Amino acid sequence: RNGTSMASVASLSASLQQRVSAALAAAVPSATGADPLLRRSDRADFQANGVLGLAKRQKTNPQALAAEVVAALPASGGGGDDTIAAVEVSGPGFLNITVADAAITRNLAARAADDRLGVPVKEHPGVTVVDYAQPNVAKEMHVGHLRSSVIGDAIVKILEFGGEQVVRRHHIGDWGTQFGMLVQYLIEHPHELDHSAGEGDTGEASMSRLDRTYKASGALFRSDEAFKERARRRVVDLQAGDPETVALWQRFVDESKIYFDSVYQKLDIEIRDEDIVGESGYNDMLVETCDLLEKSGVAVWSNGALCVFFDDIKGKDGEPVPLIVRKTDGGFGYAATDLSAIRNRTGDLHADTLLYVVDVRQSLHFRMVFETARRAGWLTDEVTARHLPFGTLLGKDGKPFKTRAGESVKLEDLLDEAVQRATAVVREKGEKIGLTEEEITANGVQVGIGAVKYADLSTSLGRDYVFDLDRMVSLNGDTSVYVQYAYARTRSIFRKAAEGQQAAAHPELALEPAERALGLHLDAFGDTLAEVAGVYEPHRLASYLFQLASLFTTFYEQCPVLTADGGQAQVENRLFLCDLTARTLRQGLGLLGIRTPERL
């Protein structure tokens, strides 16, 4: 997409797994096109299971075919590709493959020489629109908005790193009948959103002003029929673009943005103004969207509403459940907006992939919206539209996360508490290594916010998970602070390294088991990212990083770095492994939106 990232295509280096796969495929001409089904294995570096299927298809004996493959592979050390050091047939025809130490170090050296750690950029990037971080105007954000934001931000970063052209869309809830009520209330109580003396422009103050207005207007709406009627007429004015009405509506949006900004700043997630295209942004398209649906016969009038029906979507009573695009009162709802947004995203933005990071409870909505858009021709076979549903955040009691009083938890309170807990953990360690109070505070934020994000990203999207701060900030276990700590450890090794001691790859050196395991995993970074980007599952990256941190910890325990007994070359090679580990952890955590403190 731009010159700098394209340039690194040239420095692309195949992973060891890809090299082994290629060598296997080349060994037997009859295997052309067959997948060797290579996996990392405990018995050797890799195990290939593909021979079994191939033998079945060719109606030959799998063990004989395996032996044929082995014989045809280039012998170790003998010219050509010397990636493979040893191959063994095992069981009914598996191949256990050991890679040469030199091949590992050489591959890692190529990664280290590249800013992108040898991770290739897509040759034919597509355009993906990611719909995420979509809170609602004039309302408090809830934990569902937290999940959408954290997951969406990671997916955006991972796709962009792979070279995809990503359009971010924050489809905020800034439209609908409630704004008639809110604006009408503001007209009748003009000072309602004014800042009172002493109240700054903080997110919290904004939210409390909005909340007050929301509650007061709602109460009036329920108790006063005449106000209700005025509010209803105000919606019509708003949708028609009446300037006074729109200006007052804008005040709600602006006030809410102050609040959203404060939460996103705390969350360390960048939301750009130009990417906020809320429901209101599609207002001008709604009439046309409905017309097109009606004219094409995709939607029909039923009981005064414009509806789309589906054979396979029925309610408990067996009656079909339609998607309502225009309500009986003539108003347009959530569905009309989403359909218009699809027209905009495919027709104007030329997206070939649409992703929606939204709560699992909206699954039926998206199923119906996508199907409708397909029937209308706005989604063609060339376009993939996917709802990436995420599960619910649970309290320790296993029920949806609430405060003790049963209210929904304020996001900011939750983030503040995470930072507080993390700071306590950081302080305990930090005092021993002489961190200043400033460093402790800064690290506490990075560890606390990292913990919240990591907990969210390390479970597979669809699953519910328990919000447990004690576990989330623990130094042991599958947590971000464990991974951050591994990073800080690499940095501390470099601070201790004497002048003149530097990282350098030495492919001539034999590797210890812990070095090989670490090296093979480092080499798989690019393959992991490609996989994650293909299936939109950030938890696979989280688990890769946790494993990397674990392998580094083992390496650190078993292989002294600065006091290595294999001489200067070994010290340099181990420093090289530390450096590549650090860069990989930093890049990987960065893609998850998690920072890496230098000293922990």
- Applying CB under 6 A, the residues found at the interface with ligand ARG are 131, 134, 136, 171, 173, 338, 356, 358
Q: Kind and range of the H or E element at 390?
A: strand 384-390
Which pair of structure tokens corresponds to residue 106? 């050489």
Select 45 or 131, whichever has its Cβ closest to ligand ARG: 131
Least distance to ligand ARG from the beta carbon of 171, Å?
4
Least distance to ligand ARG from the beta carbon of 392, Å?
13
Select 171 or 516, whichever has its Cβ closest to ligand ARG: 171
Backbone angles phi and psi of 350, in degrees to 5: 55, 40
In DSSP terms, 96 is beta-bridged to 47, 88
Select 411 or 559, whichever has its Cβ closest to ligand ARG: 411
Nearest to 478 by CA among 423, 525, 547: 547
Least distance to ligand ARG from the beta carbon of 136, Å?
5
Least distance to ligand ARG from the beta carbon of 176, Å?
10
Select 369 or 419, whichever has its Cβ closest to ligand ARG: 369
Least distance to ligand ARG from the beta carbon of 261, Å?
17
Select 234 or 345, whichever has its Cβ closest to ligand ARG: 345
Select 173 or 430, whichever has its Cβ closest to ligand ARG: 173
Least distance to ligand ARG from the beta carbon of 271, Å?
14
Which pair of structure tokens corresponds to residue 476? 């042991």
Give Cα 243 to chain centroid, integer Å: 39
Least distance to ligand ARG from the beta carbon of 362, Å?
7
Least distance to ligand ARG from the beta carbon of 174, Å?
9
Select 93 or 281, whichever has its Cβ closest to ligand ARG: 281
- The secondary structure of residue 341, as a DSSP letter, is H
Nearest to 255 by CA among 198, 197, 220, 213: 213
Q: How far apart are CA 422 and CA 398, in angstroms?
A: 23
DSSP of 269-293: ----GGGB--GGGGGGGHHHHHHHH
Which pair of structure tokens corresponds to residue 261? 């900004």
Q: How far apart are CA 425 and CA 416, in angstroms?
A: 14
Angle made by CA atoms 509, 512, 513, in degrees to the nearest 5 = 140
CB neighbourhood size of 455 (10 A): 24
Q: How far is CA 252 from CA 209, 243, 273, 280, 385, in A?
A: 10, 15, 16, 13, 32
Select 118 or 176, whichever has its Cβ closest to ligand ARG: 176
